[in-house]
Amino acid sequence: MTGSYAELFFLVFFGLAAVWFGIVVFRTHSMVRSAMALLFSQTAVGAMFLVMQTEFLGVLQLMMMATEMSIMALFMVMFMMDPGGMGAMDMSHQKRLSLRAGGIGLVAALAVSWLPDWGPAASNIPDAGRQVELLGIELLGRSMFIFESAGLTILTSMIAATMVAIAPRKKEGAA
Amino acid sequence: MSIFYILLTLAIGAYFIAVVESWAVHGRFSLSRPAFSALALFGRESILARTPDRLFFESAPVLLLVAGLLTMAVIPLAPGLIITDLATGALFLNAALAYVLVALIMAGWGPNGGYAMIGGWRFLGQFIAYAMLIVMPITAVAMRAESLSTTLIVLSQAELWNVFYQPLGFVLFWIAAMGLAWLPPLDLPNAPGELAGGFEAEYTGARLAVLRLARMVIILALAGAIVTFYLGGWLGPWLPDWLWSVIKMLIVTTLMLTTGRLVPRVRESYFLAAGWKLGIPLALANIFLVGVIALVVDI
Amino acid sequence: MIVELSVALSVGAGLFAVGLYGALSQTNLVMIMMGIELILAAALVNLVAFWRYLHPDVISGQMFVLIVMTVMAVEMAVGFGIAVARFRSRGSVEMEEARELKG
């Protein structure tokens, strides 16, 4: 036991919440409940980040995922056949294959988590303000090229997504 | 102990907001009207929709109240009077305010009714217009303070308040704050004359009391955010610190509640166009200007 | 034997498995994208756990998390743009009906 019991308890609590909400996403029939369950799963992941003392990343995850998953809820209502879930339709295919794939992935990842000896736990974690400073210096120092190109990628994808999504306008006077 | 003081401020502030709002709506100033109407709400029958989504319907007002309280938790009323002084306080404020959106989507979808659903999705549509206008002015404020902690942001304004240093960001953040609290003229979600109350219409009785209380807490928290980021928090000449904070918050709240009613309701398409085509370039220009000034001048 | 690290990695494993099941078994494009979001969240949990318990002095771990979050947002935007275009031309985004390129 490296840290306190509180950290382990909250990690288990939020981790179970994240996985449970993730399962609810695919078990429920109502589409908006599915989107909200995904939102709360991401919130639990953000809370795990806060427990693991990465305050900036946790707060960022909470903020971004609340907005993104709400927009996903809107898209679900736009595109799904039964957003309220009152029809109780089963909208899945190749169930056995996907259950087997999920099972194999779970076993493999759990084996990697629990079997190796990861070495001694590190204990000199910079505090939250220092982490923000270090992130900023890293962003504008070593990783500046990466983020400049990421910014360019985001701009390109914004333009591409907008152009793909705009309805073609009919020309005046054409046949 | 500071939690007690902040909750006391919240209670008094929420009552003050109720008094001012009833004055703005009804035209008569009455100090006891909110207390009587709150008591009446608890006594009234709570009418439920026929087939609501119970989970969303019940939890939306509670989530709204939680979001407002979490926002208030990082706002400093005085140098030590803050519930939790996070090192990333400004960003945490933003994260808590994003859950207002989640709560309103749940409130819109829950009652299984047309007007409520339209009100909920209208809030999402408006939110997309001012989502960036909330974050980018905070970026400029944090640039000056060289920290995201709300206490340090207030302390960085000791020589010059941010409202004079970054007026563009102030205006943008004010508009976004009014949209986030669905105050007129950005009150399409509950459009009293047009949408029969929107998502607020399906809530009656005690749940409506919680919803209204949550809304007042959010308005107070947003006023607190404006005061912290732009109006110098607790800084002021003769009075004690917390009194300055409270006075500034109440002045901002009164202005938010009363001046918006003089303008007709803003249509969503206009607001989206203005927010993206005008607001975001202005916010980026604000960040650029603040960066240049911070490098050149020594305040 | 760092118990917290193994717990966090197990959470990542669980999220990955649920996301993989969802991405493979759902027919609607939006649900598939939700599965992909869960897989990316699992990757984020693993990254932060490794940073916190093994290498907290190297801030590049957190930088990687920021890049993955950026990728999540961009992928959602482009994916939903494509979904809107497909819905407009075909009337549905069911992947079972997307057989135009099938041999």
Domains of chain B, residue spans: 2-296
Closest Cα to residue B240, out of B5, B23, B36? B5
Top CATH class of C3-101 equals: mainly alpha
Are residues A55 and B147, on separate chains, in Cβ contact within 8 Å?
no
Cα–Cα dist B176/B178, whole Å = 5
Chain A residues inside the 8 Å CB shell of B102:
36, 39, 66, 70
Chain C residues inside the 8 Å CB shell of A19:
11, 14-15, 18
Q: What are the tens digits of pLDDT across the range C6-29? A: 999 999 999 999 999 999 999 999
Cα separation values, C5 from A51, A120, C16, Å: 12, 11, 16
Cα–Cα dist B162/B152, whole Å = 13
- pLDDT (tens place) for every residue of chain A, 175 residues total: 456 788 999 999 999 999 999 999 999 888 899 999 999 999 999 999 999 999 999 999 999 999 999 999 999 888 887 777 777 777 788 889 999 999 999 999 999 989 888 888 878 888 888 999 999 999 888 889 988 998 899 999 999 998 988 877 776 554 4
Cα–Cα dist B225/B252, whole Å = 10
B236 pLDDT tier (thresholds 50, 70, 90):
confident
Cα–Cα dist B222/B198, whole Å = 22
Tokens standing for residue B92: 């945490």
Predicted pLDDT at A62: 95
Q: What are the tens digits of pLDDT across the range B249-288? A: 999 999 998 888 888 888 889 999 999 999 999 999 999 9
Q: What are the tens digits of pLDDT across the range B10-29? A: 888 888 888 888 888 888 88
Are residues C48 and A57, on separate chains, in Cβ contact within 8 Å?
yes
Q: Is A60 on the interface with B (CB under 8 A)?
A: yes
Our CA-based measurement puts residue A173 at a distance from the nearest CA of chain C, in whole angstroms, of 23
C77 pLDDT above the threshold of 70: yes
8 A C-beta contact, residue B92 and residue B74: yes
Cα separation values, B279 from A119, B97, B142, B175, Å: 51, 19, 19, 10
| Residues within 8 A of C (CB atoms), A 16-75 only | 16, 18-19, 22-23, 25-26, 34-35, 38, 41-42, 45, 48-49, 52-54, 56-57, 60-61, 64, 68, 71-72, 75
Are residues A15 and C7, on separate chains, in Cβ contact within 8 Å?
yes
Task: Note whether B touches C: 3 CB pairs or more under 8 A.
Answer: no
| Residues within 8 A of B (CB atoms), A 107-126 only | none
Work out the average pLDDT over C52-77: 91
For chain C, domain boundaries: 3-101
Chain A residues inside the 8 Å CB shell of B199:
none
Q: Where are the alpha helices (DSSP H) in chain A?
A: 5-27, 31-51, 55-79, 95-114, 128-140, 144-165
Average pLDDT, chain B: 90
Predicted pLDDT at A175: 47
Give C26's strand partners: A92
Are residues A93 and C37, on separate chains, in Cβ contact within 8 Å?
no
Chain A residues inside the 8 Å CB shell of B124:
70-71, 74
Chain C residues inside the 8 Å CB shell of A144:
none
Are residues B53 and A56, on separate chains, in Cβ contact within 8 Å?
no
With tokens 């340090």, the residue in question is: B152
Predicted pLDDT at B42: 87
Closest Cα to residue B75, out of B244, B224, B253, B234? B224
Tokens standing for residue B212: 């209204």
Instruction: Work out the widest C-alpha separation in chain A, in whole angstroms.
Output: 76
Chain A residues inside the 8 Å CB shell of C97:
none
Residue from B63, B64, B91, B155 whose CB has the most chain A CBs within 10 Å, to mutate: B91
Cα–Cα dist B215/B200, whole Å = 11
User: Angle of helix B2-26 relative to helix B241-259, nearest 10 degrees?
Assistant: 30
8 A C-beta contact, residue B229 and residue B176: no
Cα–Cα dist B20/B245, whole Å = 18
Our CA-based measurement puts residue A92 at a distance from the nearest CA of chain B, in whole angstroms, of 24
Average pLDDT, chain C: 91
Our CA-based measurement puts residue A128 at a distance from the nearest CA of chain B, in whole angstroms, of 6
Predicted pLDDT at B34: 85
Omega before B76 within 30 of 0, i.e. cis: no
Q: Residue B294, SS3?
A: helix
Tokens standing for residue A165: 């999504």
8 A C-beta contact, residue B208 and residue B37: no
Closest Cβ–Cβ partner in C11, C53, C74 for A122: C53
Predicted pLDDT at A3: 61
Nearest CA in chain C to A154: C74
Predicted pLDDT at A172: 59
Closest Cβ–Cβ partner in A38, A125, A158 for C77: A158
Q: Is A127 on the interface with B (CB under 8 A)?
A: yes
Cα–Cα dist B253/B250, whole Å = 5
